Chains A and B, each alone.
Chain A
Amino acid sequence: MAKTVLVIGGGPAGLSAAKTLGKLGIPTVLVEKENTLGGRPILEGYHTLIPRKMTPSQVLAPYIEEVQRSSSVKVKLNTQLVSCEGTAPDFKVKLSDGEELEIAAIIVATGFQHFDPRRKGELGYGIFPDVITNLELEQMFSKEGRLYRPSNGQLPERMAFVFCVGSRDRQLGVTNVHCCRYGCALSGLQASEIREKYPQVEVFCYYMDVRTYGTWEYPFYWEPQEKYGVRYVRGRIAEITYSHSDGKLRIKHEDTIVKRPAEIPMDLVVLVLGMEPSEGTKKIARILDLAQDPDSQFLIPAQESGSNVISPKAGVFIAGACKGPIDIESSLSEGEAAAVEALAFIGAKVTV
């Protein structure tokens, strides 16, 4: 009996798991519910990825090509997992195209979704056209190649990044209390890109604290300030309004360093969105009966394993943003780790 591994999700983590399994000659089925591989970075048209400042296709195209070329990996687009019976290593799974497979191990890489900022009504997203998301800013760069105010198509004179929208926020209930991990660094990068291309645009970042952890500190915190002149102001934006008098937005905050309340005119405001588990992640958690964090609903690994990719359910491995906010390079690493753990689990002999 062929010992097949099922990889659910064709984003960075799923691609890297499938790529590793393919390299080792393990029969693998990769299911992706969209019609394209690459996950959020490709589907949503990200412009530049942190931390390596490469485009999504620069990073992910080699993975996609290798998975598609591999003779042992079968890619099934527009396909979802419908059900899963039995226990490892004899899972019987059914896919949305009707196909039934015998599977020895499963790697879940179903990812995240962006927070919907309409839930923070006081920030005016969906009401004022010049309040946009950092995702829309990425798409502006990647699809149109220029920066502009949606209200009039003009280059903004002053713009602001609003950190932690949909993150670290108990007002949204227990689901969004976690940190998004990527927001500070991506904002530093986006702000730097803007200042490099449009030195006349003043760019401000409004933060509670800046979490450019580890080696990200210099390229995404100090460089934006020292090399590109991005200005950091400490205070969480409480409210965004609009003034008819000058057609500009007003962002309201307290500068908590100098203890000064402020209402500042801005031409463009970028909301830095938090991460939530995707609908796919929640659905797969139900089908496979996986452990979830009771608050955020992200998948959680088996504590006693000490590993980040081994789920509490035997034969099921979890990788990437389905487990919580994560950057692309860690996501790719987790895909590789999950692939190797799956391999060890099914006891496959690797041809050297």
Chain B
Amino acid sequence: MEGQSYGYNIPVSERTKEVPWEEKVRIYEEVKSDFRFKEFLFGCLNCGACTASCPSNRFFDYSPREIVQRFMEEDIEVIYDMMHEYIWACSQCFTCWIRCPFVNNPGGLVIIMREVAVRNAFEATKDLLKPYGRVLLKVMTSGNQLSADMLQPDFFPDWGPKMLDNMQNLRAKRMAIPFDVGKSVKTAWEVSLETAMEMYTIWREAGIFEMLEKIDPNLYNVIMDIVEENEERWEELMEEED
């Protein structure tokens, strides 16, 4: 994807330029009509406290102030373009929100924009989610995908001394967790069937399955096979109970 540079130079991507204006307006309206929008954006003085505090800003062409300002300006074309690459550099730490003197929430605006991008199956979201297929499969079906010993200092050079301490005596710490996590540090635990049912209800009610179906139909089919299988098992169990 071509790099973007907003601000004084605004070369939006060729792909964005080719999209009919009405479609860009529709996307913009979908973002703005989200019930959270008015709680995430009040007024802006462009003081830059958000961008100055933003960890992503240090490494990427990404500025929370720019997002806020584009909404202030109603710059529909740039907002549409941002949703394809720019906003995905946000690490969702919400430092912008806790630093903004006027309590705007640029990270929250990014949540909405990302959700709209996924709901509308933007090509960018497909590319972005590709490396996470396995993670999605495990998380959405079993609610879990990591074993405790998978987090090792070798993979995380930025860990401080406290985090290193946390990874000592894993087994003892694991045993101290007051509910059943398999008592193992080498395997992830599987959530109970009842919990999985609650999880699937959340995915379903929140439209997560629908989103996934649009952006990755193959993964969706694999996941739904497991979900339906579990649901059948659950129903059988319930029938036995009766």
Interface residues of A (CB under 8 A from B): 122, 164, 168-171, 208-209, 234-239, 252-256, 259, 261-262
Determine the chain B residues whose CB is within 8 A of the CB of A254 once the complex forms. Answer: 48-49, 51-52, 57, 63, 65
Q: Complex Cα distance A168/B98, Å?
A: 15
Q: Tell me whether B186 is interfacial, beta carbon within 8 Å.
A: no
List 5 extra interface pairs beyond A208-B45, A235-B47, A236-B48, CB under 8 A.
A171-B100, A256-B51, A259-B66, A261-B51, A261-B52
| Contact indicator A252/B53 (Cβ below 8 Å) | yes
Q: Would you mind naming 30 contact pairs between A and B with Cβ atoms under 8 Å apart? A: A164-B101, A169-B101, A170-B100, A170-B102, A170-B103, A171-B99, A171-B101, A171-B103, A208-B101, A236-B47, A236-B48, A236-B49, A236-B52, A237-B52, A238-B48, A238-B50, A238-B53, A239-B53, A252-B52, A252-B53, A253-B48, A254-B48, A254-B51, A256-B47, A259-B7, A259-B8, A259-B63, A261-B51, A261-B52, A262-B52
Determine the chain A residues whose CB is within 8 A of the CB of B221 once the complex forms. Answer: none
With A254-B65, A261-B58: A122-B99 Cβ-Cβ less than 8 Å: yes
Report the 10 A-B pairs with minimum CB-CB distance, sorted nearest first.
A254-B48, A236-B47, A238-B52, A256-B48, A235-B48, A254-B51, A208-B47, A254-B52, A238-B53, A238-B49
Q: Complex Cα distance A84/B202, Å?
A: 61
Say how far B97's CB is from chain A's closest CB, in angstroms: 10
Say how far A171's CB is from chain B's closest CB, in angstroms: 6
Determine the chain A residues whose CB is within 8 A of the CB of B51 once the complex forms. Answer: 254, 256, 261
Nearest A residue to B101, CB-CB: A169
| Contact indicator A256/B65 (Cβ below 8 Å) | yes
Q: Complex Cα distance A254/B48, Å?
A: 5
| Contact indicator B101/A170 (Cβ below 8 Å) | yes
Q: Complex Cα distance A171/B58, Å?
A: 24
Determine the chain B residues whose CB is within 8 A of the CB of A236 once the complex forms. Answer: 47-49, 52, 101
Nearest A residue to B48, CB-CB: A254
Q: Tell me whether B46 is interfacial, beta carbon within 8 Å.
A: yes
Q: Complex Cα distance A122/B101, Å?
A: 13
Determine the chain A residues whose CB is within 8 A of the CB of B8 once the complex forms. Answer: 259
Among A235, A252, A254, find the residue whose CB has the most chain B CB atoms closer than 10 A: A254
Among A238, A256, A259, A261, find the residue whose CB has the most chain B CB atoms closer than 10 A: A238
Interface size counted on chain B using CB atoms at 8 A: 22
Q: Complex Cα distance A259/B50, Å?
A: 12
With A122-B99, A168-B101: A256-B46 Cβ-Cβ less than 8 Å: yes
Q: Complex Cα distance A253/B50, Å?
A: 9
Determine the chain A residues whose CB is within 8 A of the CB of B49 once the complex forms. Answer: 236-238, 253-254
Say how far B9's CB is from chain A's closest CB, in angstroms: 11
Q: Complex Cα distance A106/B8, Å?
A: 58
Q: Complex Cα distance A255/B46, Å?
A: 10
Which residue of B46, B57, B99, B101 contacts A261 across the interface (Cβ within 8 Å)?
Answer: B57
Among B100, B101, B103, find the residue whose CB has the most chain A CB atoms closer than 10 A: B101
Nearest A residue to B6, CB-CB: A259
Determine the chain B residues whose CB is within 8 A of the CB of A259 once the complex forms. Answer: 7-8, 63, 66
Say how far A177's CB is from chain B's closest CB, in angstroms: 9
Determine the chain B residues whose CB is within 8 A of the CB of A168 once the complex forms. Answer: 45, 101
Encode B1-21 as 1/0 by CB contact (under 8 A) with A: 000000110000000000000
Say how far B51's CB is from chain A's closest CB, in angstroms: 4
Q: Complex Cα distance A252/B47, Å?
A: 12
Q: Which residues from 16 to 67 on chain B have a C-beta closer than 8 Å to any C-beta of chain A?
A: 45-53, 57-58, 63, 65-66
Nearest A residue to B42, CB-CB: A170
| Contact indicator A253/B45 (Cβ below 8 Å) | no
Determine the chain B residues whose CB is within 8 A of the CB of A235 once the complex forms. Answer: 47-48, 52
Determine the chain B residues whose CB is within 8 A of the CB of A256 once the complex forms. Answer: 46-48, 51, 65
Q: Complex Cα distance A256/B51, Å?
A: 9
Say how far A166's CB is from chain B's closest CB, in angstroms: 11
Say how far B17's CB is from chain A's closest CB, in angstroms: 23
Q: Complex Cα distance A164/B45, Å?
A: 13
Q: Complex Cα distance A237/B99, Å?
A: 10
Say how far B188's CB is from chain A's closest CB, in angstroms: 37
Q: Complex Cα distance A253/B51, Å?
A: 8
Determine the chain B residues whose CB is within 8 A of the CB of A171 once the complex forms. Answer: 98-101, 103
Q: Which residues from 95 to 149 on chain B have a C-beta closer than 8 Å to any C-beta of chain A?
A: 98-103
Nearest A residue to B7, CB-CB: A259
Q: Complex Cα distance A21/B169, Å?
A: 78
Which residue of A122, A170, A209, A255 contacts B48 across the interface (Cβ within 8 Å)?
Answer: A255
Nearest B residue to A236, CB-CB: B47
Q: Complex Cα distance A85/B98, Å?
A: 46
Determine the chain A residues whose CB is within 8 A of the CB of B98 once the complex forms. Answer: 171
Say how far B220's CB is from chain A's closest CB, in angstroms: 40
Determine the chain A residues whose CB is within 8 A of the CB of B48 once the complex forms. Answer: 234-236, 238, 253-256
